Amino acid sequence: MKKNTKTKRNRINSVDNVIKAAKSGPAGDTTEAANKTHFPYLIVLAGASAIVAAFFMITALLCPAGDYPFGFIAWGGTFAYQTLPIGNLDVSLYYLMHATGFIGGALVLLSRRERYGVKTWMALVTDALLLIFGFAGAKLMIILEDVRDAIQNGITFGGVSFFGTVFFLPPLVMLAALLMKKKPLVFLDYCVPAIVQMLIFIRIGCFTAGCCGGITVYCNDHPMIFPTQLMEVTLDLLLLEGIMRIDRAGKYEGVRYAWFMVGYGVLRFAIEFIRKTPKTTLGMSHGQLFAIISVVLGAGFLLIYRNTQAKKTTQAAEEE
């Protein structure tokens, strides 16, 4: 009897040790310690982005159109410069932000590669694949939104829909993971922070280019265009902070992309209300319809994950 009790205690202790290990953060830190000692720089950046957005809006509302005290503010509170002069070249700020996002994505992937057992060359190749697959998915979505226009006018380099990236990127990344002999869903976890970081820089580029902006409102005949690009940057930074906290805590392995789909779907659905996009379907824009699909797919995957984990816990308890 004593022997059986001792054996049962050893099993329980082993299970407890496994649970503690699963909750450990990087370099053996506990979940709480890893998050408590982390400086929330993404929240600080989100606050800075919100302040910049508010600055542009307030300036536009207080000043007559075209009579702004700052040279970098254009009509309605938009950004005045679309290029950056470098020597004899005028470099597009829009594409410069894309390039910055690409470089930043590489740094994010490289900084986390050891934790996921990814080699340096794999991290760099993955960054390139995220750029290629992401653009291909975004371009495919814009074509599907208006097939007739694509047939009549042909496929151009411009015009993309990020929800194409959200929906089409995962299977391509998981296929690449199989080729690299990595677990597909865990590898997708590894890629999520880099994807969100790239999105943030793309939206900054949109602000400099004047695309993807908001509706125009007037105050005393002073026009103000909602800087929805910077508003999304603010929310994307907060979303990234949440994802990184989950990642450092070691939680939701294999379903962190699902959390991204839910979070991004919610924030995009809200922003679309003040974004200058046609509201043609049930009073909603294409972006809002895709946002709903994103939330449903992400939530569905999380529900499946929850049920699977519950079954595993029940089976483990029965074996004990």
Question: For residue 283, is pLDDT > 50?
Answer: yes
Using pLDDT thresholds of 50, 70 and 90, give the confidence band for residue 192. Answer: very high
- pLDDT score, position 3: 45
Give tens-digit pLDDT for 287-299: 999 999 999 999 9
Say if CB 140 and CB 171 are below 8 A apart.
Answer: no
- pLDDT score, position 130: 95
Using pLDDT thresholds of 50, 70 and 90, give the confidence band for residue 6. Answer: very low
Say if CB 195 and CB 213 are below 8 A apart.
Answer: no
Give tens-digit pLDDT for 41-95: 999 999 999 999 999 999 999 999 888 999 999 999 999 999 999 888 999 999 9
Burial class (CB in 10 A: 0-12, 13-18, 19+), 178: exposed
Using pLDDT thresholds of 50, 70 and 90, give the confidence band for residue 317. Answer: confident
b/e 292-304 (16+ beta carbons within 10 angstroms → b): eebbebbeebbee
Question: For residue 5, is pLDDT > 70?
Answer: no
State both tokens at 292: 């709903």
Q: Give 38's DSSP letter.
A: S
Give tens-digit pLDDT for 199-212: 999 999 999 999 99
- pLDDT score, position 51: 98
- pLDDT score, position 196: 96
